Amino acid sequence: MVRYGILGFGLHGWKRLVPAFAGSKNSKLTGIWRRNLDKAKANANDYGIETVFATAEELCASPQVDAVFVTSPDALHMRDSLLAMSHHKAVLCEKPLAMNAEEVEQMLAAAKQANVLFGVAQNFRYNRSVDLIREWVEAGRIGKPIFATSHFYFQSAESQRGWIYDPSLARGGPIGDVGIHCLDVLRYILQDDMTAVTTLAHRDAKSGGVEASAALSMDFRSGAIGSILVSFRSPYRSLVEIVGETGVIRSENGLTVTGMVDVQLLESGKVRDSKQVTNADGYCRMLDGFSDAIEGRGSYRAPGEDGLNNQRVLDAAYASWQSGRKETIS
């Protein structure tokens, strides 16, 4: 059983991760740290967490902790990950990994020097809907992919993460917050890399220094064209659609983690195959995937090295918004 400490425990911690640890087979949450110690103690009492650490250093140094899950705001990811790695702890870090690719490269170097596993919490790689879409594409059921699309919208006014509008803490608005999920899912499904990106985005009176909505188009190395739409202003929606030479795979709620999700294969506008799956155990599978990799049983689906690829796409997407031009991804 791999024992985890969470650095930066907050909304995501109690809403998603506490239930995920409860449902996992080889992962246990043993302690947390957050800047407000009183809130941390209240969280521990509410969710039955064994230990509240007074400092981040104390958590990372603790013999009760085998791996550190970094869930702090984006700008603190590098700082918190490097601290954990300095204590030779495996690190699973929320997405996006950092504020830019240069920071991710420092994190990768530190993980290599400490000889510890470093992964990014791209939990949708463990969604059964995404597994099925990838399986159908790989099996050639729609021929060669031509278009790959993902949409992710939600109304941020309902979010308790006030820092997502602060560009000193967040790597942008919905592009960095949920667009990183969309681009990762498309890369994972197609097993392909993006080579260039073009971004259109808009701020509004509420979004301050970050974007409120955005549209991205990407070139894939294979020749497929990707498109991503994200917003903080629309009711929740998560769509995944792959258009191929002979058919279409579509999942209207392909990235949702609650309820049942339909995955459809269409030919000439008619449904030829359809399966219903649940992604309710996606976070559990992610945690156990990382734990198993720590213990030498299999590999983790979202290693830090691959997170660097996503960060480079993200950096290029924001550069394109500023330049007004298509930007090549290094």
Cα torsion through 168, 98, 16, 112, rounded to 10: -150
Task: Looking at the structure, tell me whether residues 44 and 89 fall in a common domain.
Answer: yes
Same domain, 102 and 135: no
98 and 141 both lie in a single domain: no
Is residue 229 a part of any domain in this protein?
A: yes
Question: What span, in angstroms and rounded, lies between the C-alpha atoms of 216 and 230?
Answer: 9
Between CA 224 and CA 218 the distance in angstroms is 9
| Shared-domain flag, residues 269 and 189 | yes
Please name the helix (run of DSSP H) or strand (run of DSSP E) that holds residue 328, with its range, or none. strand 327-328
Give the model's pLDDT for residue 158: 67
Residue 173 lies in a domain: yes
Pair (110, 164) in one structural domain: no
Under 8 Å CB-to-CB from 260, ≥6 apart: which residues? 276, 277, 278
Residue 142 and residue 268 share a domain = yes
Asked if 111 contacts 105 with a C-beta cutoff of 8 angstroms, the reply is no
- CATH at residue 295: 3.40.50.720
Alpha helical stretches, state H, the chain = 11-12, 18-23, 37-47, 56-61, 77-86, 101-114, 128-138, 174, 180-190, 282-294, 304-323
Give me the residue label for tokens 């929320």. Answer: 94
Q: Tell me: the pLDDT tens digits for 97-147? A: 999 999 999 999 999 999 999 999 999 999 999 999 999 999 999 999 999
Amino acid 194: pLDDT: 98
Domain contains 315: no
pLDDT confidence tier of residue 246, bands split at 50, 70 and 90: very high
Same domain, 100 and 165: no
pLDDT for the residue numbered 285:
98
- With a pLDDT cut of 70, the percent of the chain lying above it is 99
Would you say residue 182 lies in a domain? yes
Domain count, the chain: 2
> Could you give the maximum distance between any two Cα atoms of the chain, in Å?
60
Give me the sign of the Cα torsion angle 263, 267, 269, 270.
negative
pLDDT of residue 83: 98
CA distances to 75, 188, 258, 285, 304 from 301, rounded to whole Å, are 24, 9, 21, 11, 10
214 and 173 in contact (C-beta within 8 Å)?
A: yes
**155 assigned to some structural domain:** yes
Domain that holds residue 90: 2-121+285-302
Which pLDDT score is estimated for 330?
A: 84
In a domain, 243, yes or no: yes
> What integer best gives the mean pLDDT of the chain?
97
CA distance 10 to 73: 10
| Range in 149-153, 205-209, 302-306, 321-325 the model is least confident about | 205-209
Q: Are residues 134 and 264 in the same domain?
A: yes
**Which pLDDT score is estimated for 107?**
98
* Domain presence at residue 268: yes
Which CATH number characterizes residue 248's domain?
Answer: 3.30.360.10
Q: What is the pLDDT of residue 156?
A: 87
Distance CA 103, CA 78 (A): 7
| 171 and 250 belong to one structural domain | yes
Cβ–Cβ < 8 Å for 322, 56: no
- 192 & 52 share domain: no
Edge-to-edge strand list for the sheet holding 194-202:
270-278, 260-267, 248-251, 237-244, 145-153, 225-231, 213-220, 194-202, 327-328
Same domain, 111 and 188: no
Expressed in angstroms, the distance from the first to the final Cα of the chain is: 39
Higher pLDDT: 51 or 163? It is: 51
pLDDT in tens, 19-43: 999 999 999 999 999 999 999 999 9
Q: Are residues 45 and 142 in the same domain?
A: no
pLDDT in tens, 254-310: 999 999 999 999 999 999 999 999 999 999 999 999 999 999 999 999 999 999 999
Beta carbons within 10 angstroms of residue 36's beta carbon: 11
In a domain, 47, yes or no: yes
